[in-house]
Each structure stands twice: as C-alpha cells, then as structure tokens.
Structure 1
Amino acid sequence: MTEKKATRKGSTPIYVWVTPDEKAAIEANARQTEHSTSAYLRSLGLGYAPKSIVDNQKVIKLAQINGDLGRLGGLLKLWLTNDARTAQFGDNVIRATLARIEDTQVQMVEVMKSIILPRSEL
C-alpha cells in the first residue's frame, strides 16, 4: 500500500486584508527572497525569517562608491569651470582624476556583479 503525500491543494486558505501598497511591498519582499507570495507569507507566519538574496554589505559598498564618484565628478566640474581656486592644477591632475573615476567605475561594476548571493550561500 503506497502512502499518499499530503499537499496544500484543497487545504484551507487564510485571507489577509491589505492595502494595495502593503500588497506591493509584500510581493516585492517575496521576490527578493525568491519565494512566491504564498510561500513567503507562510514562512513568516510559521516563524521562519527568509534571507534576502541581496548582500546588504555590498549594497552599502555600492553607496560608498557612488559617493566617491559624486565627489570626483564635483571636483572635475569645478576644474572645468576655470575657477580661480583651481588655477594651480594642470592637465595632468585632471587626467589623473578622470583615470580615478574610470577605476572607480570598474570597482562599482565588480561589486554590482557580486551583489546577488548564490542560493548556496543563503
């Protein structure tokens, strides 16, 4: 005699009333954890806290790199306006700054490539 595996199909649903904004937020959170909305809410209701597939430390690193790029861009803009305060800087300094911006962009791309965690690390 074979034992029939229990499934959720035909089980009793639980209805939760939410606003459209709450529904969108719940669905977004479920997508971040690569779960269906139903599986996400069931896991939370049973006390399991799903882990995000996004590495938060790398997101913070991206924000820092973005800040660096903003500062370098502001400095470059100041030099290009021929401001008297920047008269002592020559073309070599501007070229070095452009090279640093390019290096920072490469660093940012590398962090972006690694921001999504593989399932094996969750």
Structure 2
Amino acid sequence: MGRHAPEPRSRNRPLKVYVTETERTALTEAARSAGLSVSDFLRRVGLGVQVRSILDQDHVHEVMRARADLGRVGGLLKMWLAERPGVGAPPRSVRALLDRIEAAQDEVRQKVRAL
C-alpha cells in the first residue's frame, strides 16, 4: 500500500477495536518494542506502513560493533604476523586463529543481511 500523508493534527476520530486480553498485551508489547504508542502502532500497521522494532535495530548495531571488533583483532594479528612471525606463538597457530576470525566475520555479515 502507498504511504498516506498524515492529516494536520486532526486526529480526533477514535476507532474501536475489540481484542482479547492476550491480544491487547501482544499489541501493547509490539508497540513498545517499536517505540510507539498503541494508537500510532495500530495506525501504521493498518495503513500498511512497515513498523520496525527498535530492539531489532539495537541488536543489529551490537552485532555490527562485534564484527568491527573481530576486524580489529584480525588486523592486529596480521600486523603481528608481518612484523614478528614466530614470536610468542607459531605462525601456523596464529594463521589458523586469523582464519577463524575471518570466518566469524563472514557469518556475522550473512546473518545481519538476513535480517
């Protein structure tokens, strides 16, 4: 459905929706997780506007920060391999760890794209 432009603050026409207590709780929680009032949530859903959960967005940002941290660790390992190979740990072990970090980064990237 297309987006509907809001009318100038003339929202004085209530619309009754009969729900069970379970449905009321679910709608209230869904609105809260989207950072909206129940009225705004129902209006947007009813008009076909996609409502995104702010919790989901927070989780995506956390995952992206973790992916960036993995990248920094991988960068430090690469630098260590280039500047001090064999000091403190065998290069083969460090390269294996680096491969695991890169695989974890790829997995995080794929999961975020799937959201």
TM-score normalised according to structure 2 size: 0.47
